């Protein structure tokens, strides 16, 4: 191994050769030392490939002082993470404030104490090593989360929606949504389910593929009536999900032949049947996954749909969207928009975005209009 190979590199920047010699003498046993007599020379050294692990710079230098050098260093992505310590005889609060504001991490005051120099240099190299380790772990975790999110997306999209009957908008806060929208049918009619898992992100999204499989298989293969399906989903979620996690859900069953609609609202906000008038469908059941057995399977709404109508289902990310003044979008605005009728999903979504400007909704937001 060549001398200095494998050692951390320290760049010393000072216009006084004596100061450079003193610092080099203190550090050269433990580190590879580079020297520059000006800020310009320091940049040229780094551009030639001599990027250091840490910089010690004087503050008072001609042409460009140490603080301006530090400030310029922090604007360059190649160098901005290099810790820079100032070596100065000007130990005053004004200099400290300017130096820290420029991005410096510490001060070494003159006259120079060799033990103090070694201690400060060692400390900041260790801190930077720890920062790099945490950054690497964070990048690994983010990649793993992205991989899991892709898998979850593939699992939940294995069951396509009956898009001919639906217009919908799903707007997740993070890469993976805690909301899920499903449709299926069997001999008894069409089934639609909107679910909103506790929270958002990966934790909330993990339950969605389980719910998608259970819903689809129960409807298409087991030919379950909606009441039994509701109990089946509730029981399965109780078994699988940890305490405190549940799903607020809206389940709709529509028999097109008989023109009969049933809706179960389990913990969602007020849902709406848009017919000749707007009919509210209040929650009459607890969210699914809390109680092992639902005490009732009675629908929150049951009735005949004899004219053109739409069922509007949505998660609370819509009405609970907040603007800069802390005001919620609310039910009244939603009802007013529903009364306008045409292209309601996209127009409502645009209204919510405009309401929240310049921010975005802070929760997963899903809305669907089902053509009856």
Residue at which a domain ends, from 135, 168, 187: 135
Shared domain check, 294 and 234 = yes
Residue at which a domain ends, from 135, 162, 185: 135
Q: Are 285 and 264 in contact (CB under 8 A)?
A: yes
- List, for residues 71-126, the tens digit of each pLDDT value: 999 999 999 999 999 988 766 677 778 888 999 999 888 888 999 999 999 999 99
Q: Say yes or no to pLDDT of 219 above 60.
A: yes
pLDDT given for residue 260 in this prediction: 95
- Segment 58-76 mean pLDDT: 91
pLDDT given for residue 191 in this prediction: 96
The number of distinct structural domains making up the chain is 2
pLDDT given for residue 192 in this prediction: 96
Q: Are 307 and 276 in contact (CB under 8 A)?
A: yes
- Domain of 163, CATH number, reads 3.60.40.10
How far is it, in rounded angstroms, from Cα 120 to Cα 122? 6
Q: Say yes or no to pLDDT of 343 above 80.
A: no
How far is it, in rounded angstroms, from Cα 66 to Cα 55? 11
Shared domain check, 175 and 31 = no
- Residue 1 resides in a domain: no
Q: How far is CA 284 from the centre of its chain?
A: 32
> For residue 350, what are the domain limits?
147-371
Shared domain check, 154 and 75 = no
- Segment 170-180 mean pLDDT: 74
Shared domain check, 328 and 307 = yes
Shared domain check, 235 and 192 = yes
Q: Which residue has the higher pLDDT, 236 or 296?
A: 236
How far is it, in rounded angstroms, from Cα 143 to Cα 135? 12
Shared domain check, 112 and 208 = no
Q: Which residue has the higher pLDDT, 8 or 202?
A: 8
pLDDT given for residue 211 in this prediction: 85
Rg (CA), the chain: 32
- Segment 125-134 mean pLDDT: 93
Residue at which a domain ends, from 115, 135, 155: 135
Average pLDDT of the chain, as a whole number: 87
pLDDT given for residue 362 in this prediction: 77
Shared domain check, 164 and 121 = no
Question: What sections of 225-302 are H helices per DSSP?
Answer: 226-240
The percentage of residues in the chain with a pLDDT greater than 70, rounded to a whole number, is 89
At 199, the pLDDT band (50, 70, 90 cuts) reads: low
């Amino acid at each position: 191994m060549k001398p200095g190979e494998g050692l951390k590199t320290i760049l010393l920047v000072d216009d006084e050769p004596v100061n450079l010699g003193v610092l080099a003498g203190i550090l050269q046993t433990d580190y590879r030392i580079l020297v520059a007599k000006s800020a310009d020379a320091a940049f040229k050294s780094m551009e030639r490939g001599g990027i250091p692990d840490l910089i010690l710079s004087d503050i008072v230098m001609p042409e460009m002082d140490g603080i301006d050098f530090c400030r310029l260093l922090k604007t360059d992505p190649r160098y901005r993470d290099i810790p820079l310590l100032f070596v100065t005889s000007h130990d005053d609060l004004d200099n400290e404030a300017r130096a820290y504001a420029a991005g410096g991490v510490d001060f070494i005051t003159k006259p120079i104490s060799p033990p103090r120099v070694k201690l400060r240099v060692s400390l900041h190299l260790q801190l930077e090593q720890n920062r790099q380790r945490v950054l690497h772990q964070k990048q690994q975790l983010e990649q793993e989360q992205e991989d899991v999110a892709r898998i979850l997306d593939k699992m939940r999209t294995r069951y396509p929606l009956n898009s001919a009957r639906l217009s919908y908008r799903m707007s997740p806060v993070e890469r993976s949504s805690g909301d899920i929208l499903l449709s299926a049918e069997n001999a008894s009619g069409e089934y639609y389910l909107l679910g909103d898992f506790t929270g958002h992100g990966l934790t909330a999204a993990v339950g969605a593929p389980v719910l998608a499989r259970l819903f689809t298989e129960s409807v298409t293969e087991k030919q379950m009536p909606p009441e039994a399906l509701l109990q089946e989903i509730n029981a399965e979620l109780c078994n699988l999900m940890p305490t405190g996690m549940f799903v607020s859900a809206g389940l709709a069953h529509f028999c097109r032949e008989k023109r009969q609609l049933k809706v179960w609202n389990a913990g969602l906000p007020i849902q709406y049947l848009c017919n000749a008038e707007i009919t509210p469908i209040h929650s009459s059941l607890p969210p699914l996954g809390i109680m092992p057995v639902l005490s009732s399977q009675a629908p929150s709404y049951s009735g005949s749909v004899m004219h053109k109508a739409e069922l509007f289902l949505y998660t609370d990310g819509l009405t609970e969207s907040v603007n800069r003044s802390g005001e919620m979008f609310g039910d009244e605005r939603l009802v007013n928009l529903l009364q306008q009728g045409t292209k309601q999903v996209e127009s409502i979504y645009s209204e919510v975005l405009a309401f929240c400007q310049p921010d975005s909704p802070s929760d997963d937001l899903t809305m669907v209009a089902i053509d009856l």
